[in-house]
Amino acid sequence: MSLADLTFDQWRTVEPAAVRRIAREAAGLAAGRVAGVGTIEHLGGRFHQVVIERDGREFALVPGGRVTLGFDPRAWQPAPGQEADYAASLAGGFGYGDDLRAHLSHLLSPRRTVTVPTVLMAVTDENLTELPGDMPAVLAGRGLRMPSPDEWEHACGAGADTLFRWGDHCPLDRIPYGHDGPHEQLNAFGLRIAYDTYRAELSTDTTAVHGGDGGESVCGGYGHLLAWLPLATANRNPNMADLVYGPEGEDLCEDFSTRPVLPL
């Protein structure tokens, strides 16, 4: 099996010897070197991680193909305390209506099946150096590009259909800032992603912001669940996107980031 026909589903069944061969192939195509090959437990089985170093920056291999993304709030069972926490936020003037599922429908992308390419994606996001509309040209000069929203979601969730990349639950005794938590762990692909609500990553979709909300929910006192929701895999933060791509965004561009993609 080569990178040309590698899919996410196939990646979950690849033998270790083939993983190292695929890693070397990816490094060759990227004009880089293999920086790491490992195996973790994910989705109930063995899952491989490959990291390629190129020009001093680390990229994780993200196999694509036909994948299911988004979130269906109707099929979701809230964890104990989540609805009560949302009700408390609503009483404080935050949220969209009495129904938590309706609130999630407003923020999260819908459940869907799409096809995404196999790519190398930067392990960490990087701050914008230009206005969002100018970043594609900046990255192209380095042989890179911005991720599509589907690529970002797939890379973040790595096949998980849960609210967050680590599961449906989040701590309800603290906000995701200044404390240990599941968000601080690398994800299944080895990416440091959806890890800090103060980070707000841009993709090619000008109606979406991923992985954080610039700290708005945390410092705004929205409540615990609403403070964690910007880290939800399918969260598109439409209100934040309006700010980023509106007139005020020109003065805030250095506060946003993107996660470069190296096509294969």
At residue 245, the pLDDT reads 86
Sign of the CA dihedral running 250, 194, 111, 150: positive
- Residues 184 and 193: their CA atoms lie apart, in Å, by 9
At residue 251, the pLDDT reads 74
Task: Let me know the angle formed at the C-alpha of 18 by 13 and 21, rounded to the nearest 5 degrees.
Answer: 145
Residues of the domain holding 105:
3-263
| Sequence-separated (6 or more) residues with CB below 8 Å from residue 15 | none
pLDDT along the chain (264 residues), means of 10: 84 93 96 97 95 97 98 93 94 86 94 97 96 95 98 98 96 86 96 95 96 89 93 93 82 87 95
At residue 142, the pLDDT reads 96
Domain total of the chain: 1
At residue 1, the pLDDT reads 62
At residue 3, the pLDDT reads 85
Strands 57-62 and 65-69: unpaired
